[in-house]
Structure 1
Amino acid sequence: MISRKTTNFLLEFIMKIIVNIYLYFSVLFHVDFVPKKKLDASYTKFNSFDDPLPDIEYNNPDYQEIIAEAREKGESIKPVNRRKPLTVDVEGCSKCGAPKEYLYSFGHDSDGYQKFQCKVCNHQWAPENPNERPKNHPTYRCPFCGYALSKEKERKHFTKYKCRNDECDKWQNEHKRYRYRAYDFDVDDLEVSRPDKKPVNLDHSHYGNFIISKAMDFYVGLGLSLRQTKRALKLAYDVSPSAQTIQNWTVSLAYRLGPKINDLDLPLSGIVAVDETYVKIKGSWHYLFTAIDGKNGCVIAQHLSEHRDAKGAITILKRIIDQYQCQDFVLVSDMAPIYRAAVHAAKIFFKTDIDHRQVKGLFTDYDNSDEVYRPYKNIIERFFGTYKAHYKRHKSFSSFDGALSHITLYQLYFNYLKPHSSFDDKPPLIVEGSRGQPIESWAHLIKWISKTDQ
C-alpha cells in the first residue's frame, strides 16, 4: 500500500515537471506574462544584515587639528618639498582644507585629468574633472575594527561599502568582510503612490453621481474595460459617456478617495504578507507592491513603481510601520533580497527591528524553518489572482495615472465593498456614513466622500 507521503511526493514531482515545461515553452514562444528584466545582482550579497551599524563621522577633518595631533605624537607633517610648481591652480585640499603647500601631484585619473593627494589627510581627487563628484557622504568606520570602509559598488539608490582590513575581528573570526549599504534618498520623502490630479470636477458632472457610481461598478467591480463599461452603461441606462470621460471619472475619484485611505481604520493582526506583481503600462512592465493583513485578509498598503528595487520595498514597508505606529509585527515575504534590504533599511532609518520571515518557492520546503508562514504568503498570491482577473481585460493601461487610479479604487473596493465568501458575502471592513449606516455601494461611497470634503 502506497503511503500518503509517497503520494504527495509524486504529485509534487509531477507538478514541478509541468511548471518547468510551461515556463520553457512560454519563453520559447515569447508568452508575455513576466518581464524580461531581472533583479539587480548587487542585492544578492548581504553579509552584514545582522551586524551592528558602522560608526559614522559626519564632519570632514580640519588640517590644523590633524597637524596638531601629529605634533603631539612626535610626528610632524611638513609642507611638500616641491621641485616643480603644480600644473593646476588649486586653493587647497577639498576634504580637510590644507593649503596647496601640502599637496602632491599624484599622476592622472582614468579620464586623463591631473590628480592630487593631500599630505595631511591622504585624500585624492582630480579638481578639473567635470565628472568628479565632491564627497557628500560621511566616513563610515567598521564597528569591529574602526577601519574606514571603502566604496565597493555604486548602485542607483545606494552605495555599498566594505571593510578591507585584514586584521578586522570579523574577518579573522568569520572570514567574512563587513559590508554596509548607504542609501542616497531621504526616507522621509518616501510615500506610497497616490493620484496627484483630478481631470474633472465630479460635483459638476453632467451625468450625476448615480451614473458615475454605476460606471465604477462595471469598471472596477466587474473588471470591464473602458469600452465595455461604455457599452454596459448604454445597454443598462441608455447613456453614452465616452471612454475618456469614464477614465477622467476614475482618476478624479481616486484623487479624492486616495487620501481618505490613510484615515480609515484597519484591523491589524500583527502578521503582514508583502509581495509584488507585474502590471503593464504603455507596453512596459511596472511593479505593484502590496501588503495584506495575514489573518484579516484586507489590503494594508499598495505602491506602484517603475522598478522592482529596494526603494519600492522600503516605501511600502514605511507605510506598514506607520500603520502599526511602531508596534511589533511579523513580515512575511518571498526570498527576494529587496525585502531583506528593506528590513535592514528600517533598522537604520526607523530604529525598528522587524521579525522577517521568508517563504521560498511555490512548493513546501520542510527544511525551511519559516514554512509555517506559507499560508499567509498564499493569501497575497490569491489576492493577485483576484486582481489579475479584473486587470486582464485591460492588457495594458494607457497611462500611469490610469493604472494608479484603478489600483487605488480596487483597494477600496476589495476592503469595503466587495462581498467575500469567508465573511458571509460581506466586505471584510465596514465604513459607516454620517448617520451610522454601512456604506455598501459606490453610490453611497461617493455621497459620503462628497459630504466629508465639504
Structure 2
Amino acid sequence: MSPHTLGLILTYHVNYGLSARKTAALMYDVHGVKISHQTILNYMNSVALITKPFVDHYPYGLSNSFCGDETYIRVKGKWHYLFFFFDAVKKIILSYPVSPNRDTPSAIKALDQVLQKFKEIPEDLMFVVDGNPIYILAQHYFSQHGIHFDIHKVIGLTNEDPVSKEYRPLKQIIERLNRSFKGNYRATTGFGSQEGSVSYVTLFVAYFNFLRPHASLENKVPVMIPELEMMPNMPERWTKLISMAQDFLAEQQAA
C-alpha cells in the first residue's frame, strides 16, 4: 500500500468517523483500491503503535488549567470508560486511558499521564472534574507522594454552588471534546478488542492535537508543526505525521 493510500484511509476513518466497512467501500468506489475492512483495522493498529510514543512524549507547551471527564465506549460488547484529560487553554488532549472500571486506580492513571507531561509540576496546577469522588481520592494519593494540585468539582447541571458556577465553562470544554469524539466513534459501533479501542482513541488524539483546526484557536491546530503545515492536504499530513513518529521511535531506540 502506498503512503498516500494509507493517508486517505486515515482521513476517512479517523477524521470523518467512517466505519472500517464504509472506508473500504469508499476506497473501492472512489479510488479503485480494493481492501477489506479487517485490513483497514489492522493498519489502524499498526499506525497507532507507531504514533502513540510521539503523541505521548511530544514536548507540549502547556497551561496550568486542565479539565477531565469520562465517556462510554463499547469493548467486546461491554461498556468501558474512556478518561480524557485536556489542556483547557491550549486544547491539547494529554491523557486518554481506556478502562473497564470507573474507579480510583483509573483516575490515578489518567491524572498521572498528565503529570508526566511536565518537567516540573506548576505550583498552581488545577484540574476541573465532575462530582465523582474518585478524583478526590486520586488527589489524596498524589499528595501522599509529594505531588500537589487543586481539584475543582463541577456538580450537576445547574450552578448551585460557587465552585460549579466559576468552573463550569471549563467543564463544558471537556464535554464538547467528548461530543467530538462520540461523533467520530459512533460509526464504529464499538470495538472487538481492547487493542482496537486503544488504537482508535490514539489515532483520534493524534488527529485532534496535530491535524484538526479548532474554531476557538482561530482555526489553527492546537500543536502547530511546520513540517505538517507545509503538506498540501490531509492525507499527506497523515503520512508526514507517521514519518515523524517513526523518526521519533528511531531516536528513542538509539538513545
Question: TM-score, normalised to structure 2's length?
Answer: 0.90
Structure 1 residue 263, shift from structure 2 partner? 2.6
Residue 358 of structure 1: how far off its partner (Å): 0.6
- Per the alignment, residue 46 of structure 2 pairs with 252
Which sits farther off after the overlay, 414-423 or 239-248?
414-423
- Of 135, 146, 155, the residue aligned with 1:360 is 155
In angstroms, what is the RMSD of aligned CA positions?
Answer: 1.7
Indicate the residue corresponding to 2:140 in structure 1: 344
In structure 1, the residue corresponding to 2:187 is in which secondary structure? coil
1:74-93 aligned at under 5 Å gives the runs: none
Q: Give the superposition deviation at 1:424.
A: 3.0
2:9: which partner in 1?
215
2:213 partner SS: coil
How many Å separate the matches in 1 of 2:58 and 2:226?
10
Task: Give the partner amino acid of 2:77.
Answer: G
One-letter identity of the residue aligned with 2:182: K
Percent identity (aligned): 31
SS in structure 1 of the partner of residue 147 of structure 2: coil
- Structure 2 residue 222 is the aligned partner of structure 1 residue 447: no
Question: What residue number does 1:224 align with?
Answer: 18
Report the Cα offset of residue 337 of structure 1. 0.5
Once the two structures are TM-superposed, the CA of residue 254 in structure 1 deviates from its matched residue by 0.4
Please report how far the alpha carbon of residue 344 of structure 1 lies from its aligned counterpart in structure 2 after TM superposition.
0.6
SS at match of 1:272: strand
Q: Which residue type is aligned with residue 181 of structure 2?
A: Y
Residue aligning to 1:301: 95
Equivalent in the alignment of 1:313: 107
Q: 1:18-417 alignment to 2 at 5 Å?
A: 207-324=1-118, 325-328=120-123, 329-349=125-145, 351-365=146-160, 367-417=161-211
Distance, in Å, in 1 between the alignment partners of 2:7 and 2:162 is 47
**Which letter maps to 2:156?**
G
**Higher RCO (C-alpha 8 Å, min separation 6):** 2
Counterpart-to-counterpart distance in 2, 1:452 and 1:298? 20
Query: Which letter does structure 2 place at the counterpart of 1:369?
Result: V
Distance, in Å, in 2 between the alignment partners of 1:438 and 1:336 is 43
Task: Give the aligned residue type for 1:417.
Answer: L
The amino acid of 2:245's aligned partner reads: I
Partner SS, residue 35 of structure 2: coil
Q: Which has the larger radius of gyration?
A: 1
Unaligned 5+ segments in structure 2 are: 251-255
Alpha-carbon distance in structure 2 between the residues aligned to 1:268 and 1:452: 21
Distance apart, 1:268 and its partner CA: 1.3
- Look up the SS of the partner of 1:213 in the other structure: helix
What's the offset of the Cα at 1:438? 4.6
Report how far residue 342 of structure 1 moved. Answer: 0.5
User: Is 1:295–1:376's contact at 8 Å kept on the other side of the alignment?
Assistant: no
Deviation at 1:370, TM superposition (A): 4.4
User: SS state of the match for residue 188, structure 2?
Assistant: coil
- Structure 1 counterpart of 2:147, one-letter code: T
**Which secondary structure state, in structure 2, belongs to the residue aligned with residue 392 of structure 1?**
helix
Judge conservation of contact 1:334–1:358 (CA < 8 Å) in 2.
yes
Deviations 1:3-41 (A, max 9, x none): xxxxxxxxxxxxxxxxxxxxxxxxxxxxxxxxxxxxxxx
How many residues are aligned here?
Answer: 244
Normalising by structure 1, we get a TM-score of 0.52
Amino acid at match of 1:409: L
Q: Distance in 2 between matches of 1:395 and 1:263?
A: 30
Tell me, in whole angstroms, the C-alpha distance in 1 between the residues paired with 2:24 and 2:35: 6
Runs of at least 5 residues in structure 1 that lack an aligned partner in the other structure: 1-206
2-side partners of 1:284 and 1:443: how far apart?
Answer: 33
Deviation, structure 1 residue 417: 0.4
Q: Shift of residue 452 of structure 1?
A: 4.1
2:219 to 425, 430, 435: 425
Distance 1:437 1:385 in 2: 26
Deviation (angstroms), 1:453: 4.3
Output the CA distance in 1 between the equivalents of 2:247 and 2:140.
Answer: 43
Task: Tell me if structure 2 keeps the 8 A contact 1:273–1:331.
Answer: yes
CA contact (8 A) 2:24 2:37 kept: yes
Summarize the Cα distance change of 1:208–1:453 in structure 2 as closer, same or farther, 3 Å threshold: farther
4+ runs deviating over 6 angstroms: none
1: CA distance, partners of 2:248 / 2:114: 25
Per the TM alignment, residue 425 of structure 1 is displaced from its structure 2 partner at its CA by 2.6
| Aligned 8 A contact 2:51 2:246 in 1 | no
More helix by share: 2
Contact 1:430 1:438 survives alignment (8 Å): no
* Change over 3 Å in CA distance of 1:315–1:451 after alignment to 2: closer
> For residue 54 of structure 2, what is the amino acid of its counterpart?
K
